[in-house]
Structures are given as structure tokens and as C-alpha cells.
A and B are shown apart, each in its own frame.
Chain A
Amino acid sequence: EAQVTQNPRYLITVTGKKLTVTCSQNMNHEYMSWYRQDPGLGLRQIYYSMNVEVTDKGDVPEGYKVSRKEKRNFPLILESPSPNQTSLYFCASSLKTGSPGFFGPGTRLTVL
């Protein structure tokens, strides 16, 4: 089954404790991206990757890191989480740009 998986689905953590949210797709897609969703703001792009070892900033990259060492995985790293990073996070992928159609199920992150 073609899918994008994210782990964990829910996470409660404390300020400053490094965490990683994993994202994996099994469709051999080149394009992957991360978004955060906050009430009244829609989804905002954090980072995206056009292919292996190619990443670029979206609109809200501060406080986040990503890596793309292999095609299927695109982890999101929060080196020192802060309460303003409490949000719902989505990973997405597509074969090419122009139609990021496959989204993961979302990760609900709470930073205390």
C-alpha cells in the first residue's frame, strides 16, 4: 500500500529536549516536505527536499533541521524544542513537484 508514515503520532515533551519526528514513504518519491498546522494559520511549510541531499527552507524553518540521506526518509529534528513549536506536523511526498499529494497522518507535538 502506497503511504507516508510518521512517527510518533503523538508526543509530549519538555523545553530543550531534542526530538526527531520520522517520515518515510514507500513510493520512491523524489519530493518530500514538512508542514506545521496551527489554528487560523493553515499549513505552513517548514522545509522541503527535491531529492537526496537536496533540502531547502520553507516559510518557517527557524528551530528545525532536516536531512535527506536516502530517498525514502525525511526526518524532522527539533534540537531544542520550545513551547511555540507545539503544533500538528505533517510530512508529504510526491513523485515530482507540482502536486504534493501524499500526506502522512500527522504528528501532534506538545512542548511544555
Chain B
Amino acid sequence: AQTVTQSQPEMSVQEAETVTLSCTYDTSESNYYLFWYKQPPSRQMILVIRQEAYKQQNATENRFSVNFQKAAKSFSLKISDSQLGDTAMYFCAFMTGSGNTGKLIFGQGTTLQVKP
């Protein structure tokens, strides 16, 4: 069975600095998707970034980028130039890409606080 692990329950960063959130996963599949979601205090879940396993190039969305290490089964999120609005809980998630299944597995989450 697939698992997703976020080993950092809480992190903090100073405004304008860079922070990296860790995520590891376990799967025997070669085709899958990985996601990072943001959940601010409003509780709304927001898709931040998406990575397809067959793509070697790391995904980037403005100040958010990932370091996807397929062999190591690692999928970290880097937030550059941190802003106060980045304060939120961040979830890493895995979805298989084979068999047309819609199962989505989340990590436990990392609470990020951006300090002024």
C-alpha cells in the first residue's frame, strides 16, 4: 500500500526567506502523481503544485517549486521569498496514475508559520 510521510509537524520561517518542506512516499508503481496542498486558517484546501512522475523536470508555480527525487521517493516543496500569507498547513499527497483509480493519499501535514 502506498504511504505518504511528512516528518516535520511544524516549521517557521522569517518573511522573505526560503523554506523547504519535506515529503517522502512509498510506492511500487512507476506512474503516479504528487501534489502539494495549502490549507490556510480559513480551512480551504488549495492546490499549490502538481508533479507527474514520468516528468523529470521539477514543477514550478511562481514562488513555489518542488524537488522531485523519484529514486529516493522524495517530493519536497520549496517556498521562496516567504510571505505572511503563506502561513498555513501544507499537505503532500499521492495519487496512482495507473488503473484509472481515483485514490488520493495525504501526508499528516506540516504547519508553516511565516514570521514578520
Contacts and interface: CB of A to CB of B under 8 A. Distances in A.
Interface in B53-83: none
A interface SS class = strand
B40 to A, nearest CB: 12
A50 interface: yes
A49 B104 CA distance: 12
A103 B45 CA distance: 6
B28 interface: no
B101 A56 contact: yes
In this complex, the interface size class of chain B, counting residues with CB under 8 Å from chain A, is 20 to 34
B103 A45 contact: yes
A99 B97 CA distance: 11
Given A88-B43, A99-B33, A99-B35, A42 B102 contact: no
A22 to B, nearest CB: 18
B90 to A, nearest CB: 11
Interface of A: 31, 33, 35, 40-45, 48-50, 56, 58-59, 88, 90, 92, 97-101, 103, 105-106
Q: Which 8 A-B pairs have the closest CB atoms?
A: A103-B45, A42-B106, A101-B47, A48-B102, A43-B106, A42-B108, A97-B102, A106-B43
